[in-house]
Amino acid sequence: MGEVDPAFVLEPEHRPKLSITEAKSIPVIDLSPVVNSSGDGDTKAAAAVVREIGKACEEWGFFQVINHGIPLEKREKAFAASADFFAQSLEEKRKVKRDESLSCGYYDTELTKNVRDWKEVFDFQLQDPTIVYASPDPDDKKVIQWNNQWPQNPPHFREACEEYSREVEKLSFRLTELIALSLGLPAKRLNEHFNDQTSFLRLNHYPPCPFPELALGVGRHKDGGALTVVAEDQVGGLEVKRKSDGEWVRIKPTPNAYIINVGDTMQVWSNERYQSVEHRAMVNSEKERFSIPFFFHPAHYTVVKPLEELIDEQNPPKYKPFSWGKFLAHRKLTNYKKLNVENLQISQFRIQD
């Protein structure tokens, strides 16, 4: 990836602007009152955390958390394992390449010609195997299983990744419970949707790009799941589209923090009280960048719809129910082939006012 292939150069209207707002970045929330709590959820400090999270979800759809409870050594081992894996030869990495039948493993922009992202990636599912629908066809009830494929090298890679993923899963459940409380719901109201979760963890490597004004690490997009929990190095590059004015805001890395964003599924559950927002990743001309996002996804059989407790005559449902498994199958399939229909978005299930 030493040169910018013309196939991946962005059209002028989609190229990143170099003047990015850095002031008034996303909120940083200290979770220590919750993580260190003895179990009394009614303390003033814990209640303040819930309010902060609710405000951040409403105003930004993004926030950072510190004092989150994930051991630093496990995070560092995961980043080290990621760096060791991506430092290998392309031939070695492609021994575990993804394709249409193997949804987990390694890929880069050469393997997915329809993606204009300046990066390479390794994906693995939290649950192995993960059960999903076989097809986005609403009438197709068959299911298949996605299995992880692990490289032989580096030898410590799998252990470091799996240990780390279990820690991020714990944080994801904790955050989901805090978000439920911020909506006025019981803490564990949403937990049942993740009994057979389709969550996955991704290792991202963004090599230095010689022409950063012509390409993006990841183009503007929204995440489809409930939450995304991102660890990134100190190089930075993640930007969020501010809801208040549409300006792109660069997220300044906070050492050992996690960046959290609300996904489309949470937007539907909350009946748009909390909204998924666009974000993107920039490239760097001098430094490589690493990040590790965890995508917290419900079980494939989950029917996603506004929660009944949040619906009344003044606030009618804004979305029709839809199958998370079918939605996910459609998203995965478009990575490898051009479908006859546009990429599925939750806007297609929105009830028009």
Tens digit of each residue's pLDDT (9 = 90 or more) over 14-58:
444 443 444 468 999 999 999 987 655 468 899 999 999 999 999
Tens of each residue's pLDDT in the chain, 353 residues = 544 454 444 444 444 444 344 446 899 999 999 998 765 546 889 999 999 999 999 999 999 999 999 999 999 999 999 999 999 999 999 999 998 778 899 998 665 554 467 899 999 999 999 999 888 787 888 999 999 999 999 999 999 999 999 999 999 999 999 999 999 999 999 999 999 999 999 999 999 988 777 778 888 899 999 999 999 999 999 999 999 999 999 999 999 999 999 999 999 999 999 999 999 998 888 999 999 999 999 999 999 999 999 999 999 999 999 999 999 988 876 554 444 445 678 999 999 87
Whether domain 6-349 has CATH 2.60.120.330: the reply is: yes
Q: Provide the pLDDT for residue 19.
A: 39
Cα 312 to Cα 314: distance, rounded to the nearest angstrom: 5
Q: Provide the pLDDT for residue 289.
A: 95
Nearest one of 80, 27, 36, 79 to 57, comparing CA atoms = 27
Q: Provide the pLDDT for residue 103.
A: 83
Report the Cα–Cα distance between both ends of the chain, in Å, rounded: 47
Tens digit of each residue's pLDDT (9 = 90 or more) over 170-179:
999 999 999 9
Q: Provide the pLDDT for residue 302.
A: 96
CA dihedral 239, 234, 82, 80 (to 10 degrees): -160
Asked whether the CA dihedral 189, 317, 277, 9 is positive or negative, the reply is positive
Cα 53 to Cα 323: distance, rounded to the nearest angstrom: 28
Q: Provide the pLDDT for residue 173.
A: 98
Q: Provide the pLDDT for residue 334.
A: 58
217: three-class secondary structure by DSSP: coil
Instruction: Quickly count: other Cβ atoms within 10 Å of residue 143's Cβ.
Output: 14
Enter the tokens of residue 5. 């292939």
Three-state helix/strand/coil letters over 142-188 = CEEEECCCCCCCCCCHHHHHHHHHHHHHHHHHHHHHHHHHHCCCCCC
Enter the tokens of residue 200. 């996955």
Beta pairing, strands 279-281 & 218-221: antiparallel
Nearest one of 25, 42, 22, 24 to 33, comparing CA atoms = 42
